Amino acid sequence: MSENRIYNFNAGPAALPLPVLEEIQSSFLNFQNSGMSVTEISHRSTYFDDVINDAVDRAKRLLKLDDRFRVLFIQGGASMQFAMIPMNFLANGKTADFVNTGTWSTKAINEARLLDKKINVVASSEDKDFSYIPKDITFSKDADFIHLTSNNTIKGTQWADFPDTNGVPIIADMSSDIFSRTLDMEKFGMIYAGAQKNLGPSGTCMVILRQDLLDKAEDALPTMLKYSTYADKNSMYNTPPCFGIYTIDLVLKWIEEEMGGLEKVEEFNIQKAAVLYDFIDSSSFYRTTAEKYSKSLMNVTFRLPTEELEQKFIAMATEKGFGGLKGHRSVGGCRASIYNAATKEGMKALVNFMDAFEGENK
């Protein structure tokens, strides 16, 4: 761990790769010898053209996207997508299937209903407090798309494999696990992600959208709520979140050039999560909250024997330099968010701390 830096397990805004932060630091006052900070350059300049085009190109290479896909940057976070998606894709009596796996899925469903759109909730894990990912789902034959949340940050569950939808495009909220593993993009019409968990700072949402969906999108909408507005202007209809896009570009560069691509990242994340899960599974003191085959590689949610011990654990962890281990306010408990930037060193240090805490408090 670098001097004065903690082991950061925050769920979002979350840890960024240290090399990315160091590159930002070194170029912050004089970006590309421009004499300006990256926060000062014009979004209409060639400097920023190079940044946003590089981010688009790297995203396409990492996900092996062909020319059917557009990479967009939109403000408003993933939460604004909950409304934009039904507004753009559910006009004129169209219908969609939604799978409810927790808070963020629920919010997306509620936004579609608020807009009085025709949707079907075809599966839910609410019966077991969202502790698992539903299987053997029967999707509607007439659905125009299927919406799901790939990773539940609050309950610590994740789709290990995406369902067979008989060719109906999946639209997936991937805010907390985008670029953490390889994807078969043939299944997806759109993926989107708030940047602040696995991509960059808050304030930017990456949207990867297939052209055939874009071509069928509703056009009679407010300008800033139409995907075509962003696609037609390379995400620069108005001033985009320049610093966020710059940081995303550096993170994608780190994934591609230092980590070696998504295959290597996926292998790294599996190994990293196993360090923590193997320890918890072998313990009679800690227990995970997600069912075995639904456990997230990004957010490890766990409980201790009592809430009093959980509070003591979180307080002591903070003193020892382990930040962000408090569970979401809606569920309590503990949570270690171990996105791409989390290190194996950090995982081993956390396990050592947890082992010592168990020994002292059993």
DSSP secondary structure letters along 39-57 = TTS-TTSHHHHHHHHHHHH
d(CA 112, CA 84): 9
DSSP E strands, 1-126? 7-8, 69-74, 95-100, 118-124
CATH topology of domain 22-258: Aspartate Aminotransferase; domain 2 (3.40.640)
List the catalytic residues.
Answer: 104, 173, 197
Q: Where are the domains of the chain?
A: 22-258, 261-361
Burial of 140 (0-12, 13-18, 19+ CB in 10 A): middle
Q: What percent of the chain has pLDDT over 70?
A: 99
pLDDT tens for the chain, 362 residues long, are 456 899 999 999 999 999 999 999 999 999 999 999 999 999 999 999 999 999 999 999 999 999 999 999 999 999 999 999 999 999 988 999 999 999 999 999 999 999 999 999 999 999 999 999 999 999 999 999 999 999 999 999 999 999 999 999 999 999 999 999 999 999 999 999 999 999 999 999 999 999 999 999 999 999 999 999 999 999 999 999 999 999 999 999 999 999 999 999 999 999 999 999 999 999 999 999 999 999 999 999 999 999 999 999 999 999 999 999 999 999 999 999 999 999 999 999 999 999 999 999 98
d(CA 209, CA 65): 10
**Cα distances (angstroms) measured from residue 256 to each of 60, 202, 263, 313:** 11, 22, 10, 37
Provide the pLDDT for residue 354: 98
pLDDT, tens digit (0-9, with 9 covering 90-100), for 134-147: 999 999 999 999 99
**Which CATH superfamily includes the segment(s) 261-361?**
Aspartate Aminotransferase, domain 1 (3.90.1150.10)
Cβ-Cβ contacts under 8 Å for 16 (sequence gap 6 or more): 200, 201, 247, 251, 341
- Is 3 in a helix, a strand, or coil? coil
- Give the mean pLDDT of the chain: 97
Res 28: pLDDT: 96
Give the type of residue at 153.
Answer: T
pLDDT of residue 2: 56
| Predicted local distance difference test score (pLDDT) of residue 93 | 87
Pairing verdict, β 118-124 and 95-100: parallel
